[in-house]
A and B are shown apart, each in its own frame.
Chain A
Amino acid sequence: MTAAAPHDAPAARIGRIRLAGALLVAGLTGLVALAPAWTAPLREAWFDALQRARPRAVHTMPATIVEIDARSLAAIGRWPWPRSVLADLVERIAAQQPAALALDILMPEPDPLSPERLLRDATPAAAAALAALPANDTLLARALAAAPSVLAVAGMPEPTGVTLRAPSFVVQGSDDAASLPLLRYPGALASVEPINAAAAGWGLVSVDARDGVVRRLPLVAEVGGTLVPALAVEMVRVAARARALRLVARGAAVHGLAIGEALVATEPDAHVRVHFSPRHAARFVSAVDVLQGRADAAALRQKLVLVAATGLGLGDYHVTALGERMPGAEIHAQLLESLFDGTLLRRPPWAALVEAAAVALLGALVVWTTPLWTPRAAAAVALGSVAGVLAVAWGAFAAQRLLLDAATPAAGAALAFGAMLVMTLGEATRHRRALERVVQRQREHAARVAGELDAARRIQMASLPHAALLADEPRVDVAAAMQTAREVGGDLYDFFRLDGRHLFFLIGDVAGKGLPASIFMAVSKALCKSAALRAGLPDAGELMSTANAEISRDNRELLFVSAFAGVLDLDTGVLAYCNAGHDNPLRLPADGSAPVRVTDGDGPPLCVVDGHAYRGATLRMQPGEALCLVTDGVSEAHDRDGALYGSARLETLLRALPAGSRDASAIVEAIRDGVASFVRGAEASDDLTVLVVRWRGRDARA
């Protein structure tokens, strides 16, 4: 029986799963290569994790923040201070000759605390005294004009109509600065005119905090239609006394910003990524200490000094990539440190392609291995390769400050692995269920066949005559046994009385075994019986010729059957017999002497030669003599080593039987036991049949 495959071949199923996996990986690869905005959070979280694992070590401190802190507010008074105080602060800092001095303070209105504004409520005498004093804005402007000062510009979301002062820019590599993907603010906020005009530079203080976290800072932005440098950039320009800033573009992307000869590479939108360090107290000097002359001069001399309000409720605080809240001024200071140390993080344009390649590689590995290997092995490979990608990204960050995204490829590989696992296990489950169905069907089929064969066996065995049939016959003693190699066999035997004097017996062997042989056996047995009943007594040759003709008539399968048929005269012991190609029977004398082969009265097996005229023979049995007939299941029984039992062993066995134990059933048992102890459990290759007919004599008593 051949079972139909439950589905298609395993290779086709694996191929289908792999195709689905490959499509998924291709989609993920494209996604990583194009990096749409919604994929940014995972990437940025990975970059933040890198920074947190290895924050920037602070080497040099080019910038100092003069902070208007809680202590300063307690000593000087609440914010905003009169600009005369700011002017004093600027002058005291300027006296220490800083490289640049930036006010991270926006002053868009005239000072409300200026003397001339206090006139309205003053007495005439006081008014006169106040009027003689210079305006606070004038004082501050004067102080700023005397220093390398930089004032703050803020970007606003709505147009404000404020005309900006800004350093001049040279744009290289692009005809149209408006086409560059810069950060753009429609409006601006700047300090009032006498103050603003006194400064040497103007820089943007607005910090671009996406998702509330500052990671990238613009070096240049367009504010109210004007290119404005970042405050830190402008401080460097003023310190370097450079006239103009150079924006280097390549096509529609910004390549970098040059301050004098030094080019700072940027991302296409002129942003840079600061490698943040944690907050550092050494960056700060309290404003009150400067005003009261207590500040360390070394903190200000030749430094890039930022003046900023950090006191409670004043400062603009932002969360950095390190997850730490930090005043905007310290972020500018960190940008200055990074510009000086050259420690800006780099996210090269090819990074996305490398990450896409990593996704493709990891995905291909997962797609290849998952359907082939055990889930555990496939998971180990997936985890190992993900760990490798993470390690490469970490190494690139630690050694080269390169930002390569390992999180997205890892997530992509995990997604692909999960999908492959689900598909593989699902397919395996389907396959197993299908196999179970097939096995179930096979079992049912086998059970049905076994049931049918069992029924066939019962029918076959029931068709064989039983020795009890002759229990009332004292003149003859018949015993038989049949062991089939399979459920049903191709051996046959038969015996019955033709009349009151004559016993017919038959043994035969169909060439072949199993069901076809068993059917042919049944047909042969029936036709032999009918031939025996019709043949003239006691002509065994005529009987065999008739059987040959009858059986050959419908023998489409071209089987043949060897047979030995005999008719025994129970009164005289005369046996008429004919041997159609069967094993020669043995005569076993009653006196215990050696058995003798009966070889004559023979012809070819039935069905071999059409129309063969069989010639029988006769012999006279002695009282107590037995005729022993076997099929080749006896002579060709073999042990585990393939050795044959052989007719010589059978003769030796029979000769050894004592004279007293030569009744038919004892002989049958002796032959069966002899063969069984010889083969020692080796599988029988052929049916085995023994028939013993012992003539007791005319006057024997049962």
Chain B
Amino acid sequence: MDIAHHAYADVVVVTPAGRLDHTNAGDFERALLPLLEPGGRATAGVVLDFAGVDYISSVGLRVLMIAGKTMRARNARIAVTGLQPIVAEIFAISRFNGVVEIFADVPAALAAISPAAAAARAAGAKDGGA
């Protein structure tokens, strides 16, 4: 499972893809949690871009729970963006929409969490970088 991530100022944007179920939730956990360690760049928060995520099971939600606890303990924020309808329904049923912040897309999440990160991303987009 490929999990891309990119740091904008004090926010890290992580982009998992596919199904976050028991077969690769372990990969997701191992990829995500080190990015949230103290000393990392996710000082203001982490944004999980779920546009490419087709499905998330309770095992996948558990990773979000751990990430949420980590971020809350540091007074940082955790946001999920770009939910597909099925994933949005799962978030609604499991009430994880109250555990993490939900935004329509990454710019909206960055704007809410850190203007610096939003600016960094906007500058990068203008330069054509990712």
A560 to B65, CA, bound (A): 8
In the bound complex, do residue B95 and residue A512 qualify as a contact, i.e. CB atoms below 8 Å apart? no
Which B residues are closer than 8 A to A by beta carbons?
A: 57-59, 61-62, 65-66, 68-69, 93-96, 98-99
In the bound complex, do residue B59 and residue A512 qualify as a contact, i.e. CB atoms below 8 Å apart? yes
Q: Taking CB as reference atom, which chain A residue is nearest B73? A: A610
Q: Which of B57, B58, B66, B95 contacts A604 (CB 8 A)?
A: B95
Q: What total of chain A residues lie within 8 Å of the partner, measured CB to CB?
A: 23
Confirm or deny: A569 has a beta carbon within 8 angstroms of a beta carbon on chain B: no
A584 to B90, CA, bound (A): 11
Q: Which of A560, A580, A603 contacts B62 (CB 8 A)?
A: A560
- Report how many A-B pairs have Cβ atoms within 8 Å: 53
Q: Which of A558, A562, A579, A580 contacts B58 (CB 8 A)?
A: A562
In the bound complex, do residue B95 and residue A581 qualify as a contact, i.e. CB atoms below 8 Å apart? yes
In the bound complex, do residue A609 and residue B99 qualify as a contact, i.e. CB atoms below 8 Å apart? yes
With a cutoff of 8 Å between Cβ atoms, the chain A residues found around residue B57 in the complex are 636
Q: Which of A512, A581, A609 contacts B94 (CB 8 A)?
A: A581
A625 to B2, CA, bound (A): 49
Confirm or deny: A583 has a beta carbon within 8 angstroms of a beta carbon on chain B: yes
Shortest CB distance A608–B (Å): 5
Contact pattern, A 571-590, Cβ under 8 Å of B = 1, otherwise 0: 00000000111111000000
With a cutoff of 8 Å between Cβ atoms, the chain B residues found around residue A632 in the complex are 58
Confirm or deny: A602 has a beta carbon within 8 angstroms of a beta carbon on chain B: yes
Confirm or deny: A509 has a beta carbon within 8 angstroms of a beta carbon on chain B: yes
Contact pattern, A 510-537, Cβ under 8 Å of B = 1, otherwise 0: 0110000000000000000000000000
Q: From A584, A603, A609, name the one whose CB has the most chain B CB atoms within 10 angstroms.
A: A609
Contact pattern, A 589-614, Cβ under 8 Å of B = 1, otherwise 0: 00000000000001111011110000
Q: Taking CB as reference atom, which chain B residue is nearest A510? A: B58
A511-B62 contact in complex given A562-B94, A610-B69, C-beta closer than 8 Å:
yes
With a cutoff of 8 Å between Cβ atoms, the chain B residues found around residue A608 in the complex are 65, 68, 96, 99
Contact pattern, A 606-628, Cβ under 8 Å of B = 1, otherwise 0: 01111000000000000000000
A583 to B66, CA, bound (A): 21
In the bound complex, do residue B94 and residue A558 qualify as a contact, i.e. CB atoms below 8 Å apart? no
A559-B62 contact in complex given A583-B93, A584-B93, A608-B68, C-beta closer than 8 Å:
yes
Shortest CB distance A137–B (Å): 116
A594 to B100, CA, bound (A): 33
Shortest CB distance A170–B (Å): 93
A636 to B69, CA, bound (A): 27
Q: Which of B66, B96, B98 contacts A558 (CB 8 A)?
A: B66
Shortest CB distance B68–A (Å): 7
In the bound complex, do residue A558 and residue B99 qualify as a contact, i.e. CB atoms below 8 Å apart? no
